[in-house]
Protein backbone atom coordinates (compact mmCIF):
# COMPACT_ATOMS: atom_id res chain seq x y z
CA UNK A 1 0.00 0.00 0.00
CA UNK A 2 1.11 3.58 -0.69
CA UNK A 3 1.18 4.57 2.97
CA UNK A 4 4.07 2.22 3.79
CA UNK A 5 6.68 3.82 1.49
CA UNK A 6 5.47 7.28 2.51
CA UNK A 7 6.06 6.48 6.18
CA UNK A 8 9.43 4.92 5.33
CA UNK A 9 10.53 8.06 3.48
CA UNK A 10 9.37 10.21 6.40
CA UNK A 11 11.38 8.11 8.84
CA UNK A 12 14.43 8.30 6.57
CA UNK A 13 14.48 12.09 6.80
CA UNK A 14 15.58 11.87 10.45
CA UNK A 15 19.09 10.65 9.55
CA UNK A 16 19.43 10.44 5.77
CA UNK A 17 23.23 10.42 5.94
CA UNK A 18 23.18 7.08 7.79
CA UNK A 19 21.14 5.64 4.93
CA UNK A 20 23.28 7.23 2.22
CA UNK A 21 20.47 9.58 1.23
CA UNK A 22 21.74 12.99 2.40
CA UNK A 23 23.16 13.74 -1.06
CA UNK A 24 20.03 12.52 -2.84
CA UNK A 25 17.74 15.21 -4.34
CA UNK A 26 14.77 15.81 -2.08
CA UNK A 27 16.46 14.53 1.03
CA UNK A 28 19.44 16.87 0.66
CA UNK A 29 17.14 19.85 0.28
CA UNK A 30 15.01 18.88 3.29
CA UNK A 31 17.95 18.29 5.64
CA UNK A 32 18.55 21.97 6.54
CA UNK A 33 14.94 22.48 7.59
CA UNK A 34 14.62 20.13 10.56
CA UNK A 35 12.32 22.34 12.58
CA UNK A 36 9.90 22.80 9.69
CA UNK A 37 10.06 19.08 8.91
CA UNK A 38 9.37 18.25 12.54
CA UNK A 39 6.38 20.56 12.74
CA UNK A 40 5.01 19.17 9.48
CA UNK A 41 5.42 15.57 10.63
CA UNK A 42 3.72 16.31 13.95
CA UNK A 43 0.83 17.99 12.16
CA UNK A 44 0.32 14.95 9.90
CA UNK A 45 0.57 12.65 12.90
CA UNK A 46 -2.09 14.61 14.74
CA UNK A 47 -4.37 14.42 11.71
CA UNK A 48 -4.08 10.63 11.69
CA UNK A 49 -4.65 10.55 15.45
CA UNK A 50 -7.72 12.74 15.11
CA UNK A 51 -9.06 10.38 12.46
CA UNK A 52 -9.16 7.66 15.11
CA UNK A 53 -11.80 9.67 16.93
CA UNK A 54 -14.22 9.43 14.03
CA UNK A 55 -17.15 7.06 14.57
CA UNK A 56 -16.26 3.59 13.34
CA UNK A 57 -12.97 4.49 11.64
CA UNK A 58 -11.89 2.09 8.90
CA UNK A 59 -8.64 0.22 9.52
CA UNK A 60 -7.87 1.97 12.80
CA UNK A 61 -4.57 0.12 13.20
CA UNK A 62 -3.27 1.73 10.00
CA UNK A 63 -4.18 5.19 11.23
CA UNK A 64 -2.71 4.48 14.65
CA UNK A 65 0.54 3.23 13.09
CA UNK A 66 0.75 6.25 10.79
CA UNK A 67 0.09 8.62 13.67
CA UNK A 68 2.76 6.97 15.84
CA UNK A 69 5.38 7.03 13.06
CA UNK A 70 4.75 10.65 12.08
CA UNK A 71 4.71 11.86 15.69
CA UNK A 72 7.97 9.96 16.34
CA UNK A 73 9.54 11.53 13.22
CA UNK A 74 8.39 14.99 14.29
CA UNK A 75 9.73 14.57 17.81
CA UNK A 76 13.04 13.25 16.45
CA UNK A 77 13.50 16.27 14.18
CA UNK A 78 12.50 18.63 16.97
CA UNK A 79 14.77 16.91 19.46
CA UNK A 80 17.78 17.20 17.15
CA UNK A 81 17.06 20.86 16.48
CA UNK A 82 16.65 21.66 20.18
CA UNK A 83 19.73 19.66 21.18
CA UNK A 84 21.83 21.85 18.92
CA UNK A 85 20.81 24.90 20.87
CA UNK A 86 19.00 28.18 20.48
CA UNK A 87 21.30 30.52 22.36
CA UNK A 88 21.91 33.93 20.87
CA UNK A 89 24.03 35.34 23.71
CA UNK A 90 27.76 35.86 23.46
CA UNK A 91 29.90 33.12 24.93
CA UNK A 92 31.96 33.89 28.04
CA UNK A 93 35.71 34.30 27.78
CA UNK A 94 38.05 35.97 25.33
CA UNK A 95 37.64 35.46 21.60
CA UNK A 96 40.87 34.29 19.94
CA UNK A 97 39.60 35.39 16.55
CA UNK A 98 36.35 36.89 15.34
CA UNK A 99 35.10 35.67 11.98
CA UNK A 100 32.48 37.38 9.83
CA UNK A 101 31.07 35.62 6.77
CA UNK A 102 28.71 37.28 4.32
CA UNK A 103 27.55 36.17 0.87
CA UNK A 104 27.06 39.48 -0.96
CA UNK A 105 24.96 37.94 -3.77
CA UNK A 106 27.09 38.93 -6.77
CA UNK A 107 28.37 41.98 -4.92
CA UNK A 108 24.92 43.57 -4.60
CA UNK A 109 25.32 44.25 -0.88
CA UNK A 110 26.24 47.79 0.12
CA UNK A 111 30.00 48.01 0.95
CA UNK A 112 29.25 50.54 3.67
CA UNK A 113 26.81 48.13 5.33
CA UNK A 114 29.34 45.29 5.17
CA UNK A 115 32.04 47.52 6.64
CA UNK A 116 29.64 48.50 9.42
CA UNK A 117 28.93 44.86 10.16
CA UNK A 118 32.63 44.02 10.31
CA UNK A 119 33.50 47.02 12.46
CA UNK A 120 30.58 46.47 14.82
CA UNK A 121 31.44 42.81 15.29
CA UNK A 122 35.15 43.44 15.68
CA UNK A 123 35.76 41.12 12.73
CA UNK A 124 39.31 39.98 12.09
CA UNK A 125 38.72 37.38 9.39
CA UNK A 126 36.05 38.28 6.83
CA UNK A 127 34.88 35.79 4.18
CA UNK A 128 32.96 37.37 1.29
CA UNK A 129 31.63 34.84 -1.23
CA UNK A 130 30.40 36.23 -4.56
CA UNK A 131 32.53 39.34 -4.10
CA UNK A 132 35.03 40.63 -6.65
CA UNK A 133 38.32 42.19 -5.65
CA UNK A 134 37.02 45.60 -6.71
CA UNK A 135 33.95 45.33 -4.48
CA UNK A 136 35.95 43.91 -1.58
CA UNK A 137 38.44 46.77 -1.93
CA UNK A 138 35.57 49.21 -1.40
CA UNK A 139 34.86 47.47 1.91
CA UNK A 140 38.55 47.61 2.85
CA UNK A 141 38.71 51.32 2.04
CA UNK A 142 35.70 52.09 4.21
CA UNK A 143 37.18 50.12 7.08
CA UNK A 144 40.50 51.95 6.65
CA UNK A 145 38.65 55.23 7.02
CA UNK A 146 37.74 54.00 10.51
CA UNK A 147 41.39 53.09 11.20
CA UNK A 148 40.71 49.38 10.68
CA UNK A 149 43.30 48.00 8.28
CA UNK A 150 42.83 44.74 6.37
CA UNK A 151 44.78 42.67 3.88
CA UNK A 152 42.71 41.64 0.87
CA UNK A 153 42.96 38.35 -1.00
CA UNK A 154 40.71 37.15 -3.82
CA UNK A 155 40.26 33.81 -5.57
CA UNK A 156 38.22 33.06 -8.70
CA UNK A 157 37.12 29.81 -10.30
CA UNK A 158 35.62 31.58 -13.30
CA UNK A 159 34.53 34.95 -14.66
CA UNK A 160 32.31 37.29 -12.69
CA UNK A 161 31.38 37.80 -9.07
CA UNK A 162 29.41 34.55 -8.87
CA UNK A 163 32.61 32.51 -9.05
CA UNK A 164 34.76 34.82 -6.96
CA UNK A 165 35.40 34.79 -3.23
CA UNK A 166 37.32 37.42 -1.24
CA UNK A 167 39.03 37.19 2.13
CA UNK A 168 39.82 40.15 4.40
CA UNK A 169 42.31 39.75 7.26
CA UNK A 170 42.77 42.42 9.89
CA UNK A 171 46.31 43.67 10.49
CA UNK A 172 46.41 42.46 14.11
CA UNK A 173 46.41 38.87 12.83
CA UNK A 174 49.84 39.50 11.36
CA UNK A 175 51.05 39.43 7.78
CA UNK A 176 49.55 36.73 5.56
CA UNK A 177 50.28 35.60 2.03
CA UNK A 178 47.95 33.90 -0.43
CA UNK A 179 48.67 30.35 -1.56
CA UNK A 180 46.90 28.17 -4.11
CA UNK A 181 43.39 27.08 -3.19
CA UNK A 182 41.59 24.09 -4.72
CA UNK A 183 38.85 24.42 -7.31
CA UNK A 184 35.37 24.63 -5.76
CA UNK A 185 33.49 26.18 -8.71
CA UNK A 186 32.44 29.38 -6.91
CA UNK A 187 35.81 30.53 -5.60
CA UNK A 188 38.11 29.89 -2.66
CA UNK A 189 40.95 31.76 -0.98
CA UNK A 190 43.67 30.24 1.18
CA UNK A 191 46.14 32.34 3.15
CA UNK A 192 49.02 31.35 5.43
CA UNK A 193 51.01 33.45 7.93
CA UNK A 194 54.23 34.88 6.53
CA UNK A 195 56.00 34.11 9.79
CA UNK A 196 54.89 30.48 9.70
CA UNK A 197 53.19 30.93 13.08
CA UNK A 198 49.43 31.06 13.23
CA UNK A 199 46.45 29.33 11.63
CA UNK A 200 45.83 28.90 7.94
CA UNK A 201 42.77 30.98 7.06
CA UNK A 202 40.47 29.89 4.25
CA UNK A 203 37.34 31.35 2.65
CA UNK A 204 35.30 28.88 0.61
CA UNK A 205 32.25 28.73 -1.63
CA UNK A 206 31.66 25.27 -3.10
CA UNK A 207 29.08 24.79 -5.84
CA UNK A 208 25.44 24.45 -4.83
CA UNK A 209 23.23 21.31 -5.11
CA UNK A 210 21.45 22.07 -8.37
CA UNK A 211 20.83 19.94 -11.47
CA UNK A 212 23.00 22.12 -13.69
CA UNK A 213 26.00 21.74 -11.38
CA UNK A 214 25.28 18.10 -10.62
CA UNK A 215 24.66 16.58 -7.22
CA UNK A 216 27.78 14.40 -7.34
CA UNK A 217 29.88 17.43 -8.22
CA UNK A 218 28.27 19.41 -5.40
CA UNK A 219 29.20 16.70 -2.89
CA UNK A 220 32.78 16.69 -4.19
CA UNK A 221 33.06 20.46 -3.90
CA UNK A 222 31.75 20.42 -0.32
CA UNK A 223 34.17 17.61 0.57
CA UNK A 224 36.98 19.74 -0.85
CA UNK A 225 35.90 22.62 1.38
CA UNK A 226 35.87 20.32 4.42
CA UNK A 227 39.35 19.11 3.54
CA UNK A 228 40.67 22.64 3.94
CA UNK A 229 40.28 22.11 7.67
CA UNK A 230 40.67 18.35 8.09
CA UNK A 231 43.79 18.33 5.94
CA UNK A 232 45.48 21.15 7.87
CA UNK A 233 46.76 20.88 11.43
CA UNK A 234 45.82 24.46 12.29
CA UNK A 235 43.08 26.18 10.30
CA UNK A 236 39.97 28.33 10.36
CA UNK A 237 37.59 27.89 7.42
CA UNK A 238 34.67 30.20 6.71
CA UNK A 239 32.27 30.89 3.87
CA UNK A 240 29.16 29.70 2.11
CA UNK A 241 29.35 25.92 2.22
CA UNK A 242 26.01 25.20 0.55
CA UNK A 243 25.67 22.30 2.99
CA UNK A 244 25.06 21.51 6.66
CA UNK A 245 26.59 19.12 9.17
CA UNK A 246 23.75 16.71 8.33
CA UNK A 247 24.96 16.29 4.73
CA UNK A 248 27.36 13.39 4.20
CA UNK A 249 30.38 15.48 3.09
CA UNK A 250 30.22 17.36 6.40
CA UNK A 251 29.29 14.62 8.85
CA UNK A 252 32.92 13.71 9.56
CA UNK A 253 34.98 16.78 10.43
CA UNK A 254 37.86 14.79 11.89
CA UNK A 255 39.76 16.90 14.41
CA UNK A 256 37.93 20.03 13.30
CA UNK A 257 34.86 21.42 15.01
CA UNK A 258 31.72 23.09 13.75
CA UNK A 259 31.48 26.42 15.54
CA UNK A 260 27.71 26.40 16.02
CA UNK A 261 27.62 22.83 17.31
CA UNK A 262 30.36 23.58 19.84
CA UNK A 263 28.53 26.70 20.98
CA UNK A 264 25.16 24.96 21.20
CA UNK A 265 23.58 27.35 18.75
CA UNK A 266 22.26 24.94 16.15
CA UNK A 267 22.77 24.81 12.38
CA UNK A 268 20.46 27.78 11.81
CA UNK A 269 21.35 29.99 14.75
CA UNK A 270 21.30 33.78 14.97
CA UNK A 271 23.15 35.83 12.39
CA UNK A 272 23.65 39.54 11.98
CA UNK A 273 22.26 41.17 8.86
CA UNK A 274 23.49 44.53 7.61
CA UNK A 275 21.30 46.70 5.43
CA UNK A 276 21.83 45.93 1.76
CA UNK A 277 20.60 46.90 -1.66
CA UNK A 278 19.05 43.51 -2.18
CA UNK A 279 18.48 40.60 0.11
CA UNK A 280 20.99 37.84 -0.65
CA UNK A 281 19.50 34.37 -0.86
CA UNK A 282 19.74 32.18 2.24
CA UNK A 283 22.98 30.24 2.33
CA UNK A 284 24.54 27.86 4.78
CA UNK A 285 27.50 29.63 6.31
CA UNK A 286 29.78 27.85 8.75
CA UNK A 287 33.31 27.96 10.04
CA UNK A 288 35.42 25.44 11.86
CA UNK A 289 38.47 25.59 14.02
CA UNK A 290 40.96 22.84 14.53
CA UNK A 291 41.47 21.88 18.19
CA UNK A 292 45.21 22.33 17.63
CA UNK A 293 44.61 25.95 16.72
CA UNK A 294 44.72 28.86 19.10
CA UNK A 295 41.55 30.05 17.36
CA UNK A 296 39.19 27.55 18.90
CA UNK A 297 36.49 29.81 20.27
CA UNK A 298 33.18 28.69 18.71
CA UNK A 299 30.36 30.97 17.66
CA UNK A 300 27.17 30.97 15.59
CA UNK A 301 26.94 29.10 12.33
CA UNK A 302 23.85 29.89 10.35
CA UNK A 303 22.02 29.55 7.09
CA UNK A 304 21.46 33.26 6.93
CA UNK A 305 23.33 35.54 4.59
CA UNK A 306 25.55 37.02 7.27
CA UNK A 307 27.27 35.31 10.20
CA UNK A 308 29.47 36.51 13.02
CA UNK A 309 31.53 33.91 14.86
CA UNK A 310 33.92 34.34 17.76
pLDDT digits (tens, 9 = 90+) for 204-244: 999 999 999 999 999 999 999 999 999 888 899 999 999 98
Q: Which residues contact 138 (CB under 8 A, 6 or more apart)?
A: 111
Helical axes 111-121 vs 133-145, angle rounded to 10°: 50
Contact 25, 218 (CB under 8 A): no
Q: How far apart are CA 133 and CA 276, in angstroms?
A: 18
Q: How far apart are CA 230 and CA 257, in angstroms?
A: 10
Q: Which of 28-32, 188-192, 297-301 has the lowest mean pLDDT?
A: 297-301
pTM: 0.80
pLDDT digits (tens, 9 = 90+) for 156-209: 999 888 999 999 999 999 999 999 999 999 999 999 999 999 999 999 999 999
Q: How far apart are CA 64 and CA 107, in angstroms?
A: 52
- Paired residues of 168 in beta bridges: 126, 152
Across 97-106, 130-139, 236-245, the highest mean pLDDT is recorded for 130-139
Q: What is the pLDDT of residue 289?
A: 43
Per DSSP, the three-state class of 60 is: helix
Contact 126, 118 (CB under 8 A): yes
Q: Taking Cα atoms as reference points, which of 266, 262, 259 lies closest to residue 127? A: 259
Q: What is the pLDDT of residue 182?
A: 96
The share of the chain scoring above pLDDT 70, in percent, equals: 79
Q: What is the pLDDT of residue 155?
A: 96
Amino acid sequence: MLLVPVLAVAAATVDPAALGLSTTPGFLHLVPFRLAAGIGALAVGLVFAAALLLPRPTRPWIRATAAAVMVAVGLAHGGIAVSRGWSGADLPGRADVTVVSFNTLLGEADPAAIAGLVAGAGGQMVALPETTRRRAQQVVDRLAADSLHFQLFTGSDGPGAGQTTSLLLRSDLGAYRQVEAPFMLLGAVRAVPVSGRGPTLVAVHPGSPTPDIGYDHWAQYVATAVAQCTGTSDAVVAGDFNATVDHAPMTDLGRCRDAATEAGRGPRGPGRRPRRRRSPRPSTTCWWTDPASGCSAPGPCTSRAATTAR
